[in-house]
């Protein structure tokens, strides 16, 4: 499956996907990396991996629709079949989301549907939750909404700061995003209605729910 990765920053989840796709038996290939910001670390990672990459700067466009149009054109030109948003800090228009319906994944640093939006780790600590984590889901028009492919649970320690919790969750993100992509690319995870159903999993494969007791 031909994958396009959208980024806005350093690209740590991009690197996890690059590493996974480098495996000979992995069922997906990253054919393009697109950033809406110039000079970010993720572009250097794509360069180092020999992956075609480009900047489509959202500041060069008058509105969201024209930016999304350029983004869609670039993805289509690269032959992308599935989008992976990896720290992509743009809200996409309803039209773009609908065009790529069930063909775009996103990763969010909480156990959705809890703590959608920004400042997730601060809000989690403030709320006193004992378990946090991350979620890979298909994208819908509403922010951080859509059918869930995979989740990882991570403990929240009593002395955690937003930074220490974020670092712990990031370790889990790097494990479940490649897992979710693998399941989708192999056709083992697909959307039925507004839920993801699984089929064809064998005994050697990890369940799409992971626990990281760190």
Domain residue spans of the chain: 1-100, 106-214
Question: For residue 207, is pLDDT > 90?
Answer: no
Question: For residue 131, is pLDDT > 60?
Answer: yes
Residue 54: CB atoms within 10 Å: 12
CA–CA dist 80, 213 (Å, integer): 36
Res 172: pLDDT: 96
What pTM did the predictor assign? 0.94
CA–CA dist 85, 120 (Å, integer): 17
Q: Is 33 helix (H, G, I), strand (E, B) or coil?
A: strand
Would the CATH topology of 1-100 be identical to that of 106-214? yes
CATH class of the region 1-100: alpha beta
Res 206: pLDDT: 58
CA–CA dist 50, 95 (Å, integer): 31
Is 108 an active-site residue? yes
Res 101: pLDDT: 98
From 53, 58, 108, 174, the catalytic residue: 108
Res 130: pLDDT: 96
Res 100: pLDDT: 98
Q: Which CATH number fits domain 106-214: 3.40.50.1100, 3.40.980.10, 3.40.50.170, 3.40.50.300?
A: 3.40.50.170
């Amino acid at each position: 499956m031909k994958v396009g990765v959208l980024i806005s920053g350093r690209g740590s989840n991009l690197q996890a996907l690059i590493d996974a796709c480098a495996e000979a038996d992995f069922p997906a290939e990253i054919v393009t990396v697109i950033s809406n910001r110039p000079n970010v670390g993720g572009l250097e990672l794509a360069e180092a991996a020999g992956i075609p990459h480009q900047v489509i700067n959202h500041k060069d466009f008058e509105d969201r629709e024209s930016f999304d149009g350029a983004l869609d054109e670039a993805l289509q030109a690269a032959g992308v079949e599935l989008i992976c948003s990896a720290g992509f800090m743009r809200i996409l228009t309803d039209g773009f989301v609908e065009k790529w319906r069930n063909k775009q994944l996103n990763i969010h640093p909480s156990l959705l549907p809890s703590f959608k939006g920004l400042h997730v780790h601060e809000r989690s600590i403030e709320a006193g939750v004992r378990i946090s984590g991350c979620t890979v889901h298909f994208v819908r028009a509403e922010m951080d909404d859509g059918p869930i492919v995979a989740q990882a649970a991570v403990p929240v320690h009593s002395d955690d700061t937003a930074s220490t919790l974020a670092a712990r969750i990031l370790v889990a993100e790097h494990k479940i995003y490649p897992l979710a992509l693998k399941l989708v690319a192999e056709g083992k995870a697909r959307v039925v209605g507004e839920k993801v159903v699984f089929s064809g999993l064998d005994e050697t494969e990890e369940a799409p729910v992971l626990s990281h007791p760190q």
